[in-house]
Amino acid sequence: MMEPRTSRPEQRLGAIADLNDAGVPAGVNIAPLIPGLTDEEVPRILEACAQQGAQWANYIMVRLPGAVKPLFIDWLQRNMPDRAGKIVRRLEAVRNGELSDPRFGSRMQGEGQLADVIASFFHLSRRRYRLENRNHDLATHHFRLTGHHQLSLFNT
C-alpha cells in the first residue's frame, strides 16, 4: 500500500533465494522501518528472509526530511486515520520531537528510549534467525576487464 510500484515481497524473497542458490551472499535491509507501523513485522520479515537463504540483516529508521514530511503525513491520514496519530508520536519519539534528523548515525537508527527498544527487538530477532553473518570472503579475481577501459575516455 505504501510503495505500490515496488517489487512484491514474494519477488524480493525470490531474489534472495536465487542469489543464495547461485552462491552469492545476500542479506536484507528493512527500510524504512516505521515505528508503530512496520516495526512489529520485523520477526516475520527476518524469518522469511532467513528461510530463503539471507545471511545478514539491518534496518534504517524512517526519516521525513523536507517535502517528504507533508506527503507522508497526508498519506497516513488518508490511509490509516485511526493509526496516524500513534505513528507520528512514535516517529517523534525516535527523533527528539521531530520527524527527521539529518545527523549521520542518528538518522539511520534514531535516538531515545523507543529507538533503543526497537534496536533491541531487531537485534534479538536477527540473532534468532541467524542473520548476523557479515564475514564474506569477497573475490575480485572473477572480474576481468574487457573492451575499452573507462579511463581511456580521457585520452585525447
Kindly calculate the radius of gyration of the chain based on its CA atoms and give it in whole angstroms.
19
The whole-angstrom separation of Cα 44 and Cα 96 is 28
Whole-number average pLDDT of the chain? 89
Output the pTM of the full model: 0.81
DSSP secondary structure, 38-77, as one string = TGGGHHHHHHHHHHTT--EEEEEE----TTHHHHHHHHHH
Model confidence pLDDT, tens digit, residues 108-136: 899 999 999 999 999 999 999 999 977 66
